[in-house]
């Protein structure tokens, strides 16, 4: 069986959540890692018995390496992805693809020039119920998607953070990190690119200044629309609408948000954050999912039915019936990401979430930021053409 | 005790729902009615032992009449309210206040000239949990309201309808009739007037052409925003998020939407519609509410807490706690409307929902329609100034 020898760049929380779904793939062999800190490097060896380097360059030079999964901080995505592509390595890069559109374009260009795969993810656009809903809508059996809504009320801003995660200029705040999920989801459901966006940004916690919440209205090229709502301020918890299953598909305590501020008080946030990755206890993402990962409430109104996303699949609310459809639940989380990446590298199958997809989603994030700043509707063309 | 002798114009569904809350008021005496059809007239006599006239003019001329509750079709609101005001009668007019802004202005002018009360309602802006939430926010204890969302997925379009109820030019479709509720709710929570609106309209059921769904993004003068979502197509039912308590505060069957189309098939809609008013069985709105009336999912994010509206009151999701607060449940539905109207007429207390309020809400409805038609953000000033 053909093998894809994979390296992991950045052994934090993102890698912790996604590496199991990559390593579980029979065609992928995890061969090395990179992290500037010692603890995560030791954690990777503990978990997978492979070496982690102290520099990205050393990882790329690892003998026989075919591809790299870039899960480093947002600001490093572009330079690492471009260096990897130039060295002939395929790239799976965490969302957001990059901080700026110019960076994203350079990444896509570098992959095109070297003929390597560039896949962006994993966002919740990969979740099983999203795929199932997108397939049902694409079948045409329930008419066109017209009015979509997606909202999520989380504790994002009150989790342990590194300083740059709260700084918009360095890709921080809830837009690049969190709107990306919602944009990927609604793009899949609408089956169209976005033409324009009207949005509002909120930064209302004086103790923790950052883009902490937003509303956005997306107008798709095919006439569909989506309204997005997001708050990371740990007040209301929209997991109440999903049977108290959390974002990662595991049961969740109802007190999570009410405890967020006391959990954070007086702690070393950077150390806490690191401990949620490979530096921490290996068990913290090892439990198998009992339900699908999700990103809050999502409902797509089509001409002949509304499609409600749940943590087990979808509910089709049709003209005369209500039908529950299950999406297959993998034994290991995110195996579909490993499958899609292996299919790209080994079989030449173009992924849904390729560089062009990631660039458009990032452009939507920037349109949200600009619309909020300037109080006007922003065309996607305007965002994309400026970066040329 | 001072008495308010009240006449009812239009003995349909609206009157059926609201008259009990007016008649229950010790200071209000129901003395007469008007409806062009015989069955509703007989129904009013059966229910309240009072005469109903065959013409509005005869109702206004009823000896000793002080005020009139106008629950006639939308197109008659303005002419009847103006005629009543000129005859010195106080007016409670059903929402929407009128079809056009010019009509609404003429109604407000007529009331001002005659020195009579003009109150608009009842919309769900009167609901107990809305009042409670508005009071909490107005107290300033949880900071300013910033990001509000309100959505409701109903069977509005698949209930029995008269032809004009599906015709936008005559005030039909879901915007004037249904957005009015959401606008009144979010205006109370935001505590501000609306500056501009970006919206999208949907008319996707070819078997029942009408404005059947919309999304709208409201920008308030004080910096708050609200996103509204509404579908009347009887697919998803947002009462699922409110414990299967229906709009009227009564338990609701989960199959309601799936049965909407078969219930309607082959029936005489106008006759069915009439039977839901005083022409029908007197019992159909007589059951006491077990919960508050509501208009779907409503969540107001303020700086220090999110306020979630429920059918019993509100839940305050604060920085470190989750607190449930009950709103007092009246024995008879809508008694607060009778109280506010009696206070206006007999005590000279200005109502929240006066003519100026109703005009601004109607202007918001027209801004939704125009924004949807023209695909651009519409300023409220533009809508209001045109009608001068």
ipTM: 0.96
Encode pLDDT of A28-70 as tens digits: 999 999 999 999 999 999 999 999 999 999 999 999 999 999 9
Helix (H) or strand (E) holding B202, with range, is strand B194-202
pLDDT at site A274: 87
| Strand A67-70, strand A90-93: pairing | parallel
pLDDT at site A272: 87
Q: CB-CB: which of A257, A261, A376 is closest to B317?
A: A257
Average pLDDT for chain A: 95
pLDDT surpassing 60 at residue A143: yes
CATH 3.40.50.720 domain span(s) along chain B: 4-123+332-353
Interchain contact A322–B (C-beta under 8 A): yes
Q: Residue A153: list chain B partners with CB under 8 A.
A: 299, 301, 306
Q: Nearest CA to B214 among B353, B342, B373?
A: B373
Residues 57-96 (A) with a CB less than 8 A from some CB of B: none
| Domain B125-329+367-371: assigned CATH number | 3.30.360.10
Contact A84, A113 (CB under 8 A): no
- Phi first, then psi: what are they for A316, rounded to 5°? -95, 115
Instruction: Give B263-305 as a DSSP string.
Output: HHTT--HHHHHHHTTTTS-GGGGTSPPSS----SEEEEEESSE
Contact A52, A44 (CB under 8 A): yes
CATH 3.40.50.720 domain span(s) along chain A: 4-122+332-354
CATH 3.30.360.10 domain span(s) along chain A: 125-326
Tokens at residue A84, please? 């990897």
Q: Is B198's CB within 8 Å of A217's CB?
A: yes
- Residue A11's pLDDT band, with cuts at 50, 70 and 90, is very high
Question: Distance between CA atoms of B368 and B198, rounded to whole angstroms?
Answer: 7
Top CATH class of A125-326 equals alpha beta
CATH 3.30.360.10 domain span(s) along chain B: 125-329+367-371
| Domain A4-122+332-354: assigned CATH number | 3.40.50.720
pLDDT surpassing 90 at residue B204: yes
Interchain contact A306–B (C-beta under 8 A): yes
CA neighbours within 13 Å on the CB side: how many for A310?
16
Closest-approach residue (CA) in chain A for B265:
A320
Task: Catalogue the E-assigned strands of chain A.
Answer: 4-9, 28-34, 51-53, 67-70, 90-93, 118-120, 145-153, 194-202, 213-220, 225-231, 297-302, 305-309, 313-318, 322-326, 378-379
CATH match for B4-123+332-353 among 3.40.50.2300, 3.40.50.720, 3.40.640.10, 3.30.160.60 = 3.40.50.720
pLDDT at site A365: 98
Q: Compute CA A82 distance to the chain's CA centroid, rounded to the nearest angstrom.
A: 20
Question: Distance between CA atoms of A22 and A17, rounded to whole angstroms?
Answer: 10
Give the gyration radius of chain A's Cα atoms.
Answer: 20
Q: Is B241's CB within 8 Å of A236's CB?
A: no
pLDDT at site B229: 98
Q: Is A229's CB within 8 Å of B231's CB?
A: no
pLDDT at site B282: 58
pLDDT surpassing 80 at residue A1: no
Q: Is A213's CB within 8 Å of B143's CB?
A: no
Contact A63, A31 (CB under 8 A): no
Encode pLDDT of B86-113 as tens digits: 999 999 999 999 999 999 999 999 999 9
**Dihedral angle computed from the Cα positions of residues A9, A11, A16 and A19, in that order, rounded to the nearest 10 degrees:** 30
pLDDT surpassing 90 at residue B375: yes
pLDDT at site B2: 60
pLDDT surpassing 60 at residue B261: yes
3-state secondary structure of B104: helix
Q: Is B227's CB within 8 Å of A237's CB?
A: no
Interchain contact B283–A (C-beta under 8 A): no
Q: Residue B198: list chain A partners with CB under 8 A.
A: 198, 217, 377
Burial label, B50 (beta-carbon count in 10 A; 0-12, 13-18, 19+): middle
pLDDT at site A46: 93
- Residue A118's pLDDT band, with cuts at 50, 70 and 90, is very high
Q: CB-CB: which of A219, A235, A255 is closest to B318?
A: A235
Q: Is A200's CB within 8 Å of B219's CB?
A: yes
pLDDT surpassing 90 at residue A275: no
- Residue B285's pLDDT band, with cuts at 50, 70 and 90, is low
Instruction: Give A231-252 as a DSSP string.
Output: E-SSSS-GGGGGTTB-TTSSB-
């Amino acid at each position: 069986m053909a093998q894809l020898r994979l390296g992991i760049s950045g052994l934090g929380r993102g890698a912790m959540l996604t590496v199991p779904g990559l390593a579980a793939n029979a065609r992928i062999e995890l061969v090395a890692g990179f992290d500037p800190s010692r603890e995560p490097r030791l954690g990777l060896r503990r978990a997978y018995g492979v070496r982690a380097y102290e520099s990205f360059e050393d990882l790329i030079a690892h003998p026989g390496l075919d591809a790299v999964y870039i899960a480093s901080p947002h600001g490093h995505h572009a330079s690492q992805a471009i260096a990897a592509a130039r060295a002939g390595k395929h790239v799976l890069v965490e969302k957001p693809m990059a901080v700026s559109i110019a960076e994203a374009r350079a990444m896509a260009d570098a992959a095109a020039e070297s003929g390597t795969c560039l896949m962006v993810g994993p966002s919740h656009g990969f979740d099983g119920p999203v795929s199932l809903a997108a397939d049902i809508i694409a079948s045409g059996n329930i008419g066109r998607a017209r009015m979509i809504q997606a909202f999520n009320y989380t504790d994002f801003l009150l989790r342990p953070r590194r300083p740059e995660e709260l700084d918009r200029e360095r890709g921080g705040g809830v837009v690049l990190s969190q709107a990306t999920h919602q944009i990927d989801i609604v793009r899949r459901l609408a089956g169209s690119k976005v033409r324009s966006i009207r949005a509002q940004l909120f930064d209302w916690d004086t103790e923790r200044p950052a883009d902490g919440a937003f509303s956005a209205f997306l107008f798709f090229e095919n006439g569909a629309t989506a309204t997005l709502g997001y708050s990371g301020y740990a007040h209301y918890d929209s997991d109440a609408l999903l049977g108290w299953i959390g974002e990662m598909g595991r049961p969740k305590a109802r007190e999570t948000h009410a405890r967020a501020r006391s959990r954070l008080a007086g702690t070393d946030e950077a150390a806490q954050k690191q401990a949620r990755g490979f530096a921490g206890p290996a068990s913290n993402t090892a439990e198998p999912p009992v339900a699908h990962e999700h990103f809050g409430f999502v409902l797509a109104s089509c001409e002949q039915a509304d499609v409600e996303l749940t943590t087990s699949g979808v509910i089709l609310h049709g003209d005369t019936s209500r039908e529950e459809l299950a999406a297959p639940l993998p034994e290991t989380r995110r195996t579909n990401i490993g499958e899609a990446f292996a299919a790209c590298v080994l079989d030449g199958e173009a992924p849904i979430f390729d560089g062009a997809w990631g660039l458009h989603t990032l452009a939507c994030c920037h349109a949200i930021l600009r619309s909020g700043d300037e109080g006007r509707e922003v065309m996607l063309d305007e965002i994309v053409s400026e970066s040329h």
